[in-house]
Amino acid sequence: MTAVRKVSALALSFAMVSMGGCMVGPDFAPPETAAPQDWSSWRSGDPSLITSEDGDVRIPADWWTLFDDPVLDKLEQQALAASPDLETAALHYAQARVQVQGASSAAAPQINASAEMTRNRQSEYGASTRLFDALGPDRDSLAKLLSQPFTLYRGGFDAAWEIDLWGKVRRSIEQAGAQATQQEALLDLTRLSVTSEVARAYFDLRTMQRQISLSENDIALLKDRVGLVSARVEGGLEDHSTLEKERAELNAMLGALPALKAGEAMQINRLAVLLGKHPGELNNELQARDDSMASDLPDLSLGMPSQVALNRPDVRAALAQLHAATAGIGVATADLYPGIRLGGGFNLESYRSENLFDWASRSWSIGPSLNLPIFDGGRRRAVVKLRKLEAREAAVEYQKTVLKAWQEIDDALSGYSADRQQQERLAARVANTASTLEIMQARFKAGAITYLPVIQARRGHLQALRDLADNEGRLYVRFVALNKALGNAPEPAPDGGL
C-alpha cells in the first residue's frame, strides 16, 4: 500500500504539472485588416455610380420577403428545408462538432474493462516445464498433471492518461473548434448561396415568362400588320417587297419564341434541382402570370466597411481556417517533446470459478511511462515546418478573401446603381411610347392616318415594355448579388440546420 500511495502522489504531481503546463506553438491572433474610414471611399468607376445612401434601413435576414411575392417566399422556405447542398453542408458542420468532442476526450483518462474465459492446455515440454527436469523421475508425472486442460477465468480493467504537459491536447481541441467554426461559416455561406440561387432562378424565370407574353403580343400585332400590308399590296398601294419584309420580320419573331419557351423550362428545372425535386414537379406553382414583378427595393445602409466585409461567411471561414492552421503548429511542436503517460490496471484471475472473486486472485499494476523522442530522421521537425507553411498559406488566403469581398461589394454596388438608373430611364421611355400610342390612336379615330402607324406605335410600346421587363429582372438579380456580396445569410433553423 505504501507503493500505491507513492505512485498516487506522483500521478497527482503530474496532473498538477499538466494543468499548469505550457502550451507550445504560437497563440492565434486575428490579423489586422485595412479598412477605409468611409464605406464609399474604396470604390472604382465613374462617380455617378457611387451612391451615398446612409439611412438606418437594414436588409433583413429573410431578404427575399422584400419582394412581397408569396411564390418566392414558399420556394425559399422549401429550399432551406430540402436543398441537397444545404443538407450536405449541415452534415459537414455536424461532423466538425463531433470532431471537437473527439479531441476533447483525449484530455480525459481512458478506462477499459475486460472479461474472458478460456480453455487452456500447456505443453508438457514448454518453457514453463523446464524446471521439472531437475526433479528427476517425478518430472513426467508433474508435467502430465500441469498439462491437463483447464479453464481460466479472468476479469478486470485498465486505465491510462496521457499528461498534457506541452498543450498538445489543448491545441488539438483549439484546432478542432476552429475547424467547427469554419464549417459553421461555410454552412452560412451555403444557406446564402442556395437562397440567392433560388431567387436568381426565379427572377430569370419570371423575366423569361414576361418576355414570352410580350413576344406573343408582338407576334399578334405583326400578323395584323402583315394582313394589312397584304391587302394594300392586292390593292396596288404597296409592292411585294414590303410584304416580304413584313413576313420576314414575323418569321424572325416566331423563330425566337421556341428558344424563349425552352429557356422557361430550363429555369423551372433549375429551381427544381435547388429544391431537390424532379423535373415537372414545380410546373403548377410556376405558371406564367400577367402581373409585373415591380417592387420598391429598400435603400441600403452598409455601416462601416470592415463590418460589411469581415462578417461575410467566406471571410469568417477563411479566418477560422487560419486559426486551425495556427493551432496545428502547436500540435506538431508538442510531438518534439517527451510524453508522459500514467497507466494502471487491476485484474482478477483464477482457474477455479469459485475463487475468481477472492482477494487472493487479484493482480494489479500502476505507474508512469515516458516516451522520449530521440531520432526519427527529422520527420517531426518536418511536420512542424509543414504546419508553419500551411499557416502562412492560410494567412495569404484570408487576405485574398478579404480583398475579393471588397471587389465583389464594389462590383455589386456599381451594377445595382447602374441598373437602378437605367430602370428610371426605361420607365420614362415606356411612358413616352404610351403617350405616342395614345396620339396615334386618336389620329386614327379622327381618320387622319391608317391603322398601320397605330400598329407601329403599339410595337414600339411593346419593345419598351420588353426592355423594361428585362432590366427589371436584371435589377432584381443585381439586388440578390449585392445581398450575397454583403454576406447577409439567412438565420439558421432552430436545430442548427440539421
Whether 293 contacts 154, CB under 8 Å: no
- Note the pLDDT of residue 239: 80
Question: Which helix H or strand E contains 344, and what residues bound it?
Answer: strand 339-350
Distance of CA 461 to the CA centre of its chain: 45
Strand-pair partners of 154: 116, 349
**Backbone angles phi and psi of 298, in degrees to 5:** -75, 155
pTM: 0.81
Cα–Cα distance for residue pair 150/92, rounded to 1 Å: 53
Cα–Cα distance for residue pair 212/265, rounded to 1 Å: 12
- Note the pLDDT of residue 13: 47
Whether 467 contacts 425, CB under 8 Å: no
Cα–Cα distance for residue pair 464/422, rounded to 1 Å: 12
Topology of domain 110-163+339-372, CATH: Outer membrane efflux proteins (OEP) (2.20.200)
Cα–Cα distance for residue pair 268/201, rounded to 1 Å: 8
Cα–Cα distance for residue pair 224/51, rounded to 1 Å: 46
Cα–Cα distance for residue pair 176/169, rounded to 1 Å: 10
Residue with the three cell numbers 502562412: 392
Same fold, 2-107+165-337+399-486 and 110-163+339-372: no
Q: Write the CB contacts of 309 (distance below 8 Å, at least 6 apart in sequence).
A: 33, 35, 315, 402, 405, 406, 409
DSSP type of residue 495: T
- Note the pLDDT of residue 137: 64
DSSP type of residue 301: -
Rg of the chain over all Cα atoms, to the nearest angstrom = 39
Single out the residue of 474, 477, 462 nearest to residue 429, CA to CA.
462
Cα–Cα distance for residue pair 124/142, rounded to 1 Å: 9
Cα–Cα distance for residue pair 332/314, rounded to 1 Å: 27
Q: What is the crossing angle of helices 70-82 and 84-105, to 10°?
A: 40
- Note the pLDDT of residue 295: 66
- Note the pLDDT of residue 50: 64
Single out the residue of 322, 337, 306, 309 nearest to residue 36, CA to CA.
306
Cα–Cα distance for residue pair 343/157, rounded to 1 Å: 11
Cα–Cα distance for residue pair 53/55, rounded to 1 Å: 6
Cα–Cα distance for residue pair 260/266, rounded to 1 Å: 10
Q: What is the pLDDT along the chain (498 residues), one digit of tens a residue?
A: 454 444 444 444 444 444 445 889 899 999 987 776 666 667 776 776 765 544 455 678 899 998 889 999 999 999 999 888 999 999 999 999 999 998 888 888 888 888 888 888 877 777 767 666 666 667 777 777 777 787 888 888 888 888 888 988 899 999 999 999 999 999 999 999 999 999 999 999 999 999 999 999 999 999 998 888 888 888 877 788 888 888 998 999 999 999 999 999 999 999 999 998 899 899 998 888 776 666 667 655 454 555 677 889 999 999 999 999 999 999 999 989 998 888 888 898 888 888 888 888 888 888 888 888 888 889 999 999 999 999 999 999 999 999 898 888 888 888 888 888 898 899 999 999 999 999 999 998 988 888 889 999 999 999 999 999 999 999 999 999 988 998 888 988 665 545
Q: Write the CB contacts of 7 (distance below 8 Å, at least 6 apart in sequence).
A: 366, 367
Whether 379 contacts 387, CB under 8 Å: no
Q: Write the CB contacts of 458 (distance below 8 Å, at least 6 apart in sequence).
A: 221, 437
Cα–Cα distance for residue pair 498/491, rounded to 1 Å: 13
- Note the pLDDT of residue 7: 42
- Note the pLDDT of residue 398: 94
Does domain 2-107+165-337+399-486 match CATH 1.20.1600.10?
Answer: yes
Q: Where are the domains of the chain?
A: 2-107+165-337+399-486, 110-163+339-372
DSSP type of residue 115: E
- Interval 154-190: pLDDT, tens: 888 888 888 888 988 899 999 999 999 999 999 999 9
Counting residues of the chain whose pLDDT is more than 70, the rounded percentage is 85
- Interval 38-78: pLDDT, tens: 666 677 767 767 655 444 556 788 999 988 899 999 999 99
End-to-end CA distance of the chain: 53
